[in-house]
Structure 1
Amino acid sequence: MPLFATYKVANAQKMLVKALLLFLLFRFCDSRDTLTWNQEQLKDDGGVLVSKQSKFELGFFSPGNSSYRYIGIWYSQTKVSEKTVVWVANRNNPINDTSGVLKINRYGELALYAYNMNNTPVWSTNVSRPVQNNNASTFSAQLLDAGNLVVFLDDNNEIYVWQSFDYPTDTLIPGMKVGVNWKTGLEWVLTSWKSQDDPGLGDYTFRLYPDQTAAPQYFMYKGLSKYWRSESGPGPPFVTNQEETYNFFNYTNAITRTTLNDSGRLYRLTWDNGGVQWKEDFSAPKSRCDWYGQCGANSKCKPDNINEFECECLPGYEPSSINDWNQKNGSGGCVSKRVGVSKCGSGDGFVNVARVKFPDTSIASRLRTGMSAKECEQDCLRNCSCTAYLSIEYEGLVDCLIWYDDLMDILVYTERGRELYVRVNKTELGRSQVFLERRGMLAIPILSALLALVLIIMLACWWRKKNRNTKGIDFVEAEELEETQRHPELQFFDLDTIIAATDHFSPVNELGHGGFGSVYKGQLPNEQKVAVKRLSRTSGQGIEEFKNEVALIARLQHRNLVKLLGCCMKGEERMLVLEYMPNKSLDSFLFDNTRQSFLDWEKRFEIINGIAHGILYLHQDSRLRIIHRDLKTSNVLLDAEMNPKISDFGMARIFHRDQLQDKTNRIVGTYGYMSPEYAVFGRFSTKSDVFSFGIIMLEILSGQKNNGFVPEDPSMNLIRRVWELWEEGIALDILDSTLKSYHPNEVMRCIQVALLCVQEDSKDRPAMSAVVFMLSGEASPPLPKQPAFVYRRSSGTDVYPLLSNRSYSINDVTASTMEAR
C-alpha cells in the first residue's frame, strides 16, 4: 500500500476515535436533575440525577463491601471528593442485582422497581389518595441544590407532595430538621445505619422528646433505652410554636453535615478542601459522664475526676446503696436523706449546684415563662413535690424550670453550665451555711498565711541571689513550690528516695539517654518499679521546660501516653518519676536485627493505631490541645504487653482551641522527623505532629530508619524510596523482609496514609481524626501527592532541598538556629 494511503487510513481512524470520544463526552455531560411521568426513568446503568449547580447527585450505589444496590443522594465529587451518602430511599429493601429502575408511576408516586416487576414497587413515596387522583402526567421529581429530592404536583414546580427532607436517614444537611410536627404527627428522626455495609435501620436513633410542657431536649436512644441527652433549654437551636418543635440545620458557606454513625456517636462535620477530608467540629457522647444516667438519680457526674469515682450525691441526698457506691458503681443513684413520708418541711431552702447540665426535663418538670428567679424560688417552696429549680435568661426574657421528682443525668462542667438550686431541709441547709461561714472565717488566716508565704519567697529569692555561686543549695525554688500546689495529685519524691531507688544512679540501671539527660530504672520502697528521667545539668532543658513537662503530663490520662507518677526537685536536680516500661522504646525493636521478629504484622498494626489514638487525644480529645513537637520511635515506649505509650513532653506546646499554628525562634527536635515548615521557618501546628507520625509509620512498616536509609546514596531516604515504589505500583516492596505473614490491604492502607501524613504542604496532610478513621477502614484515604523529601549532605547534616548550603535560608528568609538531638 502506498505511504500516502496508509497515512490517510491512520488519520481517518484517529478522527473516528475523536468523534466517538466527543459523543461520549456530550452524552455524559447531558446531566439532568428531574424525572417526569412516562417520559424518563433512572436505571441502574451508571446514570445519575445531578442538581443544577452540581452540588448533589442521586443514583444507585453499593455501600462499603456490600453488593446490594440502593437509591441514595450524595455530594457531587466536584464538591466533596470522598463519596459521602446523605440519604437512602430503600434502606431496608435492597436490590440484589442491577435491575433497579426509579420512575414516576401512574399514581404520581416516585417508585423504585426491580426484577422487571412493575406492579409492586420495592420502595415508593406513598402519596395520599386525594393526590393520586390528580393527573399523573403533571408529576415530576427534582433533585434540588440543597440535596432535597422533591416530588412536585404541578408543571411549574410550585406545589410539592413529598420531599426527602421529611424522611431523614442517618444524616442532617442544611435545611433539614429533627423534631415533630404536632399538627400532622410527622416526626423527623435520625436513625443510624446497621453497619458501614448496610444502611438499614440501625440500633441508634436521635429524636426530640415529644413533651410540650417543659424545655425541649433531644435524646439518642439505643433501642428503646435513653443513651445520650443533649443540653436542654429554650432558645437556639430550638424552634417551638403551636404547630411544630424542631432543631434545624442552618445554611452556611461551608459544606457541613451531622451524622449518627452505627456505633452510636453523633458527629458534626465540615468538609476541609485543603485537607481533602471531613473535619470534626463536635461529637457526642465522648466522656464517661455523657452516657445517660451514668450516676443514677439525684447525683452529679464529674468527668474531670479521672482517677476518682466520678459520681457524687446532690446536697440532701445519700447513696441508695453504700456497697455499690464503695465499689464505684453509681448506677443506683442517690435517695433523699429526709426521714418520714413528707417531702418538705418548714425551714426548707436551696443549695446552689454550679456549672451543670440541665437535669432531664422529661421527668416531671415544667417550664414557666416570664417568671423571675425569686418568683421561681417561691413557686418551688410552695409545692412539696418540688425538688429543684433553675432560672434561665435568654434575649432579655427570664424563664423558670421546675422539677417535681428525681433529678436525672446531671453533668458538671469545668467552665460553662447552669446554676441549679436543689431543695434541702433545714438541717442540710444549716450545714451548707456553716460550711460557707467557716470558709469565710478561714479567709483571714489564709490571707495571713499567703502574706507570710510571699515574705518567705522574697527572702528565698534574696538568699538565692546572694549565694548563686555556692554549691549544694538545699531548698525548692519558690516557683517549683507553686507548681507543687497546683498539682496536689502528683507525688513529690525526696531526693534520697530516688538515689536509693536507682542505686545512686548506677550505670547498670541506665535505660537510655538523650539530649536532656539519662533515664534510669528504679525500685521504690514499696517494690514498685519506676523509670527516673534525670535532667542533665548541662542540657538545654531548663526549669521552664521541666515544669512544662510536669504540668503537661500531670493533666494527661490516656492508655497510649506514659503515666507520670511524680517528680523530684532539689537544688539543681530535677527528675521525673514515670511508670516503668519493661520493653523500653520502639526503636530498640525496629532497628535491632535480633529483636525485629518480635514485631509481627498484627503487633505493628496495633502499635500504629495505638500511637495514632495517643496523638489524637493530645490534639483533640484532651482538655488541652497539645503539640508534641518531638515524636519519634525512641519516644514511643512499650509496656509489658507491647502496647505503645508516647513519652517525652519536654518540647510540647499548649494551643488554645481556636489556635491553628504558632512560631518559634528556638527550633528543637530530631532531624528526619521534623516537618519542612517547622525545620525551615519554625512554624508548628498539629500537622507538624502528623508529619512525624507519618515518618514513624514508614519506619514501622519498613523496619528501616528514615535517616541513613541508603548510606551509599546520600540523596535517598525512606520517604523518597517509598514514593518511588508507590509510583511504580510495587509499594509493598518496602515492607520489612522479616514479616512472613501480613494483610496486603492493611499494609497498603498504612503506606497510603503515611504518604498523606508526610506531604510537603501542611494543608495537604490529614488531621489525626481522619488518620484514625482511615486506618480503621471507616474512611477511604485519597491519593497522595509527592511528599516532602529530605536530603543528607556528606557532612552528615540533614537539609531540606530548598535550603541553601550556607545560610539555611529560603527566599531570603533566614531560619533560626536548629537544636537537633
Structure 2
Amino acid sequence: MATSPSSIRDGIIRDDGGSGNLVSEDLSFEMGFFGFDNSSRYVGIWYHKVPTPTYLWVANRDEPIKGRGGSIRIKSDGNLVVLDGENNEVWSSKLNLSNPVNNSQAVLHDNGNLVLSNNDKDVWQSFDHPTDTYVPGMELPASAGMSMKPSFRSWKSPTDPSTGNYTMGVATEGSTQQILILEGEERRWRSGYWDRRVFTGVSNMTGSSLFGFELNTKDNGEKYFIYNWNSDQKVRFQISWDGFERLLLWNEDEKSWSQTQYEPYEKCEEYNYCGSFAVCDMAKSPICSCMEKFKPRNWDEWNRQNWSGGCERITPLKAESERGINNGSGTAVNVGSEDGFLKQNSMKLPDFAQLVDVDDEDCESKCLQNSSCTAYSYTLGIGCMVWYGELVDVRYSEDLGTVLNIRLADSDLGHGDKRTKIWIILAVVVGLICIGIVVWLGKLPGGEPIAVKRLSRKSSQGLEEFKNEMMLIAKLQHRNLVRLLGCSVQGEEKILVYEYLPNKSLDCFLFDPKKRVQLDWTRRFEIIEGIARGLLYLHRDSRLRIIHRDLKVSNILLDESMNPKISDFGLARIFGGNQNEANTDRVVGTYGYMAPEYAMEGLFSVKSDVYSFGVLLLEIVSGRRNTSFRNTEESSLIEYAWRLWSEQRAMELVDPSIRDSIPESEASRCILIGMLCVQDSAYRRPNMSSVVLMLESEATSLPLPKQPLLTSMRIYEDGDQSHSEGLDVSNDLTVTMVTGR
C-alpha cells in the first residue's frame, strides 16, 4: 500500500488497497473503506492507533457499496463523492460551487474533522453532518423550541451503521437547554437543564466529570455547545445502537475504552419511569413512590409494580376546591386557605419547565398567582422555573443539588403537626433542665447525641438575641447550616440544643499546628464551597433573606465528615422582600470580619456577609488569622494577600502544610475571589450566587479587584486602645460586640 495521504486533491482513495487511506497529520485519525462482511462496504473515519477500529463518522451509512472496488474522489464540480465499483455515485457532499474546477481539497484534521475547501475557503465539514458520535471540538446545536433537531442518530446494530431507532440532540425550551434522547418521536432520556456549569439531572456530572462543556452563541444568534478537552487521552460521547448515551475514555495501558458516565442499567434513567407526580429513587424498594400528599391513580396496577399511570393529589388545591363548589359537587375542607409549597431537595427537576423573568424572591408568588402552576424552582445559573399541569420524569439522588417546590393544599402542609413537634422538643428540653443533665452533654432520652449551648450570664447576648437565634434557625434547613433541636429560657438561664457536631469548629483545626495537616487542599476547598452554598441559601434561597452579620471561622462547625455548617445566628437580621440595605446605631460583630461600611456607618447588607466570607476564605487558604498581623508591616491578612497577589507571588500566601499539593491556578483563583469579596466598595463585591459560580466553574472569567485601602481592623486601631481591646473578648458561647462611637 502506498504512503497514506493527509488530503485529497487530485488523488483517489480506492477500496482495493492501491493508494492507501487518508490519515490526519498527527496520525490520530484515519479515513477509508470498512465493512463487517464482504458484501457491504462503507466510507468512514476512525481512530488510527486504536487496535479495534472505533468509527466516529460514516458517509454512506444508508447506501452501502456492494462488494469491493469503490473509491473516494473529488469530482470536477468540486464535490467530494463516494463511488461504487461501477462508478455510480452513492454519497456526495452536495454542494453547488461557483468555481469548482481544480480548486477543491479535502483534509482530515487532527481532531477527526474532514474539511472540504474550495478556493482556500472551507465549504463543508463532517462535523456538521455527524452520525452517532461526538468528539471534542464539534459544535452541538441547541435547537430552539420544544421540538429537538436531531444531531446524532444511532447505528441499527453493532455491525450495521445504517440509521437506527434513536436520536440525540439539544432542545432549548424557553431559555433552558437539555440533552434529549428520542425513540422515534417519544422521549427516552433527558439530561436535565443546563445551569451554565452542568446538566442538572445528571447526578455524576460534577468535579472531574464536568471537563469543558460551554454554551456559546454565534453572530447570527444561534446557540451551540462545545466540549473543550485539555488532555491527550482520547474521549468520545456516543448514542449507542441500544439507545443509551455513553462517555468513553481510552485506556492506553489496557488498550480498551472505559465507560465513565451515563450507565444504562438504572431504571430511574428511563424517561418518566414512575409516571406523573411520582419520584424514582434507586436507593428505595420499590423504586417508585408517589410524591408526598399524592396517591396512586390505580392501586391495582401500582401494586403490580406497573407505575406508568402515576399519582394524583389526595387533597385538591384551593382553586380546584372552589371549582368543585361552583359545580355543585361538594365542599372541600381547605377552601379559604391559601396553597403553599413543599420543599424537596436533591431532585431531578420535572420536564417542560417554563422560565419566568423574576428574581428568586418573587418566584414563589409568581407560581401562586396562576392556579395552574403546580411547582417552581429557582436554580442558580437558570433562574425562576415554573411548571403547569402534571410533573413528569422526577427522580431523587443525593448527588443532585436542585430544589423542587411542589404546590400543596394548605391542610396538606402539616402546619399543626409542626407546631406540635416544636412543643414536644421544648418539653423535652425543659424536662432535661429539670432533671439537671443539661450542662454539657450528651444525649436525648431517645439516644440522639446533642450539643448544648448555654449562654454565660456575663454574655452580651441578651434575651432579644437569644430569641432571634432560636426563631431563625428553626425556620432554616440546609446541609450547610447547623440544625436546631430545641431551646429553653428559664430565669437567667438561656439554652439552645443543637445537633451534635463531633469535630467542633473550623478554628480548632485551621489554627492548630498539629491538626491543620488534616485539612488538605481538597478538604479546604470543599469547606469553602459548603460555606458559600450555606450563605447563598441565607441570602437568596430560603424563604427569608437573612444577613448573618457574624460570619467567622469559629462559627463554622464541622460534622463527622468535616462538612461545614454555619452556626450562631444571634446577630442575624431578616430583610424584607424589597429591602437590600439597612442601618443600625448598634454595630455588632467580630474584630477583623466586619465590612468597612458597617464598621464606620452601621450600614449592612448581603455584601457585608460577602466581605466576611472573603476574610474567611483567605484564612482557610493561608491558615492564618486576619488578626495575626497586628505587629507586622501589614495591618491585616487582607493587606498581606493583596501585596502578594499584586506582585504575582500568590503561592506564598498558601498554608505551607498544603502548598506543595495545591495547583497554582486553583490557589490564585481562590485568592482572587477572596480579594474581590473584601473590596472597600460594597457595590464592587460580587453577590454569593456569583461567588458560587466563580468557585465551581473554571470557565467563569473573573474581574480584577480594586486594592482594599480600608479594613475594619485599621478603623478600630485608629480609635482609642481601650475600645479596640474590648473587641477581642469572646468565647465559644458568647457573641463579641462593638458599640459605635
Aligned to 1:275, what secondary structure does the other structure show? coil
CA contact (8 A) 1:366 1:401 kept: yes
Counterparts of 2:214 and 2:311 in 1: how far apart (Å)? 32
- Kindly provide the amino acid, as one letter, of the partner of residue 65 in structure 2: I
> Per the alignment, do residues 441 and 281 of structure 1 end up closer, same or farther by CA in structure 2, a change over 3 Å counting?
farther
1:202 aligned residue:
164
1:41 aligned residue:
12
1:76 aligned residue:
48
CA contact (8 A) 1:297 1:334 kept: yes
2:191 aligned residue:
230
> Per the alignment, do residues 438 and 255 of structure 1 end up closer, same or farther by CA in structure 2, a change over 3 Å counting?
farther
- Kindly provide the amino acid, as one letter, of the partner of residue 356 in structure 2: R
1:367 to 351, 355, 380: 355
Aligned to 2:268, what secondary structure does the other structure show? helix
- Kindly provide the amino acid, as one letter, of the partner of residue 304 in structure 2: Q
Structure 1 residues 335-382: Cα deviation after superposition (integer angstroms, max 9, x where no partner): 233154749975111110111001102xxx32135x332211111111
Counterparts of 1:318 and 1:214 in 2: how far apart (Å)? 33
Segments ≥4 residues shifted beyond 3 Å: 180-183, 185-188, 339-346, 434-456
Taking the TM superposition and a 5 Å limit, the aligned residue runs for 1:682-693 are none
> Per the alignment, do residues 102 and 435 of structure 1 end up closer, same or farther by CA in structure 2, a change over 3 Å counting?
farther
CA contact (8 A) 1:180 1:188 kept: no
Q: Does 1:179 align with 2:141?
A: yes
Counterparts of 1:149 and 1:446 in 2: how far apart (Å)? 73
1:91 aligned residue:
61
Taking the TM superposition and a 5 Å limit, the aligned residue runs for 1:480-499 are none
2:344 aligned residue:
353
Counterparts of 1:125 and 1:299 in 2: how far apart (Å)? 48
2:221 aligned residue:
243
Q: Structure 1 regions of 5+ residues with no counterpart?
A: 1-26, 457-821
**Aligned-residue offset at 1:441:** 4.5
Q: Percent identity?
A: 31
Aligned to 1:207, what secondary structure does the other structure show? strand
Q: Does 1:143 align with 2:108?
A: yes
**Aligned-residue offset at 1:415:** 3.7
Counterparts of 1:311 and 1:402 in 2: how far apart (Å)? 24
1:263 to 211, 229, 242: 242
**Aligned-residue offset at 1:126:** 1.1
**Aligned-residue offset at 1:445:** 7.8
CA contact (8 A) 2:142 2:225 kept: no
Q: Does 1:328 align with 2:299?
A: no
Counterparts of 1:453 and 1:332 in 2: how far apart (Å)? 41
Counterparts of 1:96 and 1:246 in 2: how far apart (Å)? 38
Q: Does 1:418 align with 2:409?
A: no
> Per the alignment, do residues 331 and 345 of structure 1 end up closer, same or farther by CA in structure 2, a change over 3 Å counting?
farther
2:178 to 203, 210, 217: 217
**Aligned-residue offset at 1:73:** 0.4
Counterparts of 1:416 and 1:182 in 2: how far apart (Å)? 26
CA contact (8 A) 1:66 1:197 kept: no
1:534 aligned residue:
none
Structure 1 residues 403-435: Cα deviation after superposition (integer angstroms, max 9, x where no partner): 122111000012433110011122212x2x344
2:717 aligned residue:
none
> Per the alignment, do residues 106 and 209 of structure 1 end up closer, same or farther by CA in structure 2, a change over 3 Å counting?
same
Aligned to 1:92, what secondary structure does the other structure show? coil
Counterparts of 1:137 and 1:345 in 2: how far apart (Å)? 81
Counterparts of 1:294 and 1:181 in 2: how far apart (Å)? 25
> Per the alignment, do residues 182 and 289 of structure 1 end up closer, same or farther by CA in structure 2, a change over 3 Å counting?
closer
> Per the alignment, do residues 82 and 318 of structure 1 end up closer, same or farther by CA in structure 2, a change over 3 Å counting?
same
- Kindly provide the amino acid, as one letter, of the partner of residue 76 in structure 1: H
CA contact (8 A) 1:272 1:279 kept: yes
Counterparts of 2:283 and 2:261 in 1: how far apart (Å)? 19
2:252 to 260, 270, 273: 273
CA contact (8 A) 2:71 2:85 kept: no
Counterparts of 1:114 and 1:374 in 2: how far apart (Å)? 65
2:89 aligned residue:
121
1:55 aligned residue:
28
Aligned positions, number: 403
Counterparts of 1:256 and 1:318 in 2: how far apart (Å)? 45
Counterparts of 2:271 and 2:368 in 1: how far apart (Å)? 29
**Aligned-residue offset at 1:214:** 4.3
1:515 aligned residue:
none
Taking the TM superposition and a 5 Å limit, the aligned residue runs for 1:500-539 are none
CA contact (8 A) 1:66 1:198 kept: no
Taking the TM superposition and a 5 Å limit, the aligned residue runs for 1:659-678 are none
**Aligned-residue offset at 1:452:** 5.0
Q: Structure 2 regions of 5+ residues with no counterpart?
A: 198-212, 325-334, 433-441, 450-741
Counterparts of 2:448 and 2:407 in 1: how far apart (Å)? 45
CA contact (8 A) 1:105 1:111 kept: yes
Counterparts of 2:342 and 2:166 in 1: how far apart (Å)? 37
> Per the alignment, do residues 435 and 323 of structure 1 end up closer, same or farther by CA in structure 2, a change over 3 Å counting?
farther
Alignment RMSD (CA, Å): 2.8
CA contact (8 A) 2:42 2:60 kept: yes
Structure 1 residues 7-65: Cα deviation after superposition (integer angstroms, max 9, x where no partner): xxxxxxxxxxxxxxxxxxxx64x3211111xx2111102320011111100000113x5
TM-score of the two chains, using structure 1 as the length reference: 0.46
> Per the alignment, do residues 201 and 441 of structure 1 end up closer, same or farther by CA in structure 2, a change over 3 Å counting?
farther
Counterparts of 2:122 and 2:144 in 1: how far apart (Å)? 20
CA contact (8 A) 2:78 2:104 kept: yes
Structure 1 residues 421-457: Cα deviation after superposition (integer angstroms, max 9, x where no partner): 011122212x2x344444445546888794457699x
Counterparts of 2:105 and 2:221 in 1: how far apart (Å)? 28
CA contact (8 A) 2:66 2:84 kept: no
2:589 aligned residue:
none
**Aligned-residue offset at 1:318:** 2.6
CA contact (8 A) 1:220 1:228 kept: yes
Aligned to 1:376, what secondary structure does the other structure show? helix
Counterparts of 2:354 and 2:445 in 1: how far apart (Å)? 53
CA contact (8 A) 2:14 2:72 kept: yes
1:288 to 267, 273, 291: 267
CA contact (8 A) 1:216 1:238 kept: no
- Kindly provide the amino acid, as one letter, of the partner of residue 150 in structure 1: V
> Per the alignment, do residues 180 and 216 of structure 1 end up closer, same or farther by CA in structure 2, a change over 3 Å counting?
closer
> Per the alignment, do residues 204 and 188 of structure 1 end up closer, same or farther by CA in structure 2, a change over 3 Å counting?
closer
> Per the alignment, do residues 297 and 282 of structure 1 end up closer, same or farther by CA in structure 2, a change over 3 Å counting?
same
Taking the TM superposition and a 5 Å limit, the aligned residue runs for 1:641-660 are none
> Per the alignment, do residues 341 and 48 of structure 1 end up closer, same or farther by CA in structure 2, a change over 3 Å counting?
farther
Aligned to 1:418, what secondary structure does the other structure show? coil
**Aligned-residue offset at 1:143:** 0.5
Counterparts of 2:391 and 2:448 in 1: how far apart (Å)? 48
Structure 1 residues 763-800: Cα deviation after superposition (integer angstroms, max 9, x where no partner): xxxxxxxxxxxxxxxxxxxxxxxxxxxxxxxxxxxxxx
CA contact (8 A) 2:356 2:384 kept: yes
> Per the alignment, do residues 104 and 302 of structure 1 end up closer, same or farther by CA in structure 2, a change over 3 Å counting?
same
Counterparts of 1:356 and 1:272 in 2: how far apart (Å)? 33
Counterparts of 1:455 and 1:399 in 2: how far apart (Å)? 39
CA contact (8 A) 2:248 2:259 kept: yes
Counterparts of 1:97 and 1:223 in 2: how far apart (Å)? 32
CA contact (8 A) 2:192 2:349 kept: yes
